[in-house]
Amino acid sequence: MTTRRRFTLTQYLIEQRRRFPSASGDFNALVLDVALACKAIARSVAFGELTGVLGNPLMDVATSVNVQGEDQKRLDVISNEYFTQMTEWGGHLAGMASEEMDEPYQIPETLQRGKYLLVFDPLDGSSNIDVNVTVGSIFSILRAPQEAIDSGRDVVEADFLQPGTEQLAAGYALYGPTTMLVLTVGNGVAGFTLDPNLGQFMLTHPNLAVPEDTQEFAINASNSRFWEAPIKRYVDECLAGKTGPRGKDFNMRWIASMVAEAHRILMRGGVFMYPRDTKDVTKPGRLRLLYEANPVGMIIEQAGGRASTGREPMLKVTPDALHQRIGLVFGSKNEVERIERYHAERPVFEDERNPLFVERSLFRD
């Protein structure tokens, strides 16, 4: 019996590099450094409480809350250190930004600096790590401003404030029953599975594609009382099933780990919604634009899906802050476009609080 030959991540990157004959190889080396950090995180996740990595890092509450105001797990801190330590030394980066760090991370002066910026969420879904739910890492690669490259100066927040269309690559690692790396370098999306015997990411899912249609959606229904009218309308229509305006039944999913949600949608279609709502008017959304929404948005769109705020394409939003939050809808193209139409059709005079002017919902009191 002939054994099927599989390409390694390194071989895949070399093949992709052939599209750019003048490329130096720095980009490929950076992606491989990121992959190494993901392997290290996967090992820590796999051992779990056996190595005491779960729970808060210190008893002092002040040191266990990140810049987002969220509790940090020990594994959040460890994962962040893996990313910084395994990517800073190669000479490919001008700087980094992370969910777990208040300010941009500077490459030490003793190390060579490069022409790329790395932004990442080192452990997405970490609130679920104690109950053994799939978690992951999300990352994006941008080009540093030429002035910063030429001068070798420290990076500043403004250097990172680039729309998603400027991303050179995006990906996520998934730490579940198997460890996977899903990657786009602007030429489609490929999935790699970590071979524990070889210690290599092997290409197992070439040319991933999101189906245009779906009968599955994911949203946190506990926030329904805070949803805007277009989202309420969409969910109500899905719940109405075959007897409703959509004429078909839908399934609802919610994992509370965006990496896991995105992976399910890549594998079989669906739509994910974490929209802007009225729960906290100071936060125009829950997810972070630079290192969550933009990378996932690039992956989904490279796979033929669509990513949106509900009002405009996600990748066209120009960030105004390093840790900016935003509403996100992504997945099967036809469903996301329907949600965008509902936002566009919404009357400007609509009073959401007046029950005479809103549809009845399974989730309304």
Tens of pLDDT, residue by residue over 85-101, are 999 999 999 999 999 99
d(C-alpha 47, C-alpha 297), whole Å: 31
Contact predicate 135/124, CB 8 Å: yes
In angstroms, what CA-CA distances link 8 with 199, 204, 230?
10, 9, 44
Contacts of 60 (CB under 8 A, 6+ apart): none
**pLDDT at residue 18, rounded to an integer:** 87
Contact predicate 141/118, CB 8 Å: yes
**pLDDT at residue 94, rounded to an integer:** 98
Q: Nearest CA to 215 among 261, 243, 246, 236?
A: 246
**pLDDT at residue 348, rounded to an integer:** 44
Token couple for 108: 């030490």
In angstroms, what CA-CA distances link 218 with 91, 226, 305?
40, 16, 15
Contact predicate 307/278, CB 8 Å: no
pLDDT of residue 281 exceeding 50, the answer is yes
**pLDDT at residue 349, rounded to an integer:** 40
Between 78-87, 124-133, 224-233, 258-267, the lowest mean confidence (pLDDT) is in: 124-133
d(C-alpha 24, C-alpha 114), whole Å: 12
Under the banding of pLDDT at 50, 70 and 90, the label for residue 356 is very low
pLDDT one-digit tens code per residue, 134-180: 999 999 999 999 999 999 999 999 999 999 999 999 999 999 999 99
Q: Which residues pair with 202 in a beta bridge?
A: 8, 193
**pLDDT at residue 357, rounded to an integer:** 42
pLDDT one-digit tens code per residue, 108-117: 999 999 999 9
| Across 306-326, average pLDDT | 97
Please return the burial class of 328, using the count of CB atoms within 10 Å of its CB with bins 0-12, 13-18 and 19+: buried
**pLDDT at residue 56, rounded to an integer:** 56
Token couple for 275: 């929209």
| Summary mean pLDDT of the chain | 90
Contacts of 189 (CB under 8 A, 6+ apart): 182, 183, 207, 208, 209, 266, 299, 302, 303
pTM for the full model? 0.90
Strand 271-274, strand 105-106: pairing: unpaired
In the chain, the domains with their CATH numbers are 9-205 (3.30.540.10), 216-357 (3.40.190.80)
Percent of the chain clearing pLDDT 70 (strictly above): 89
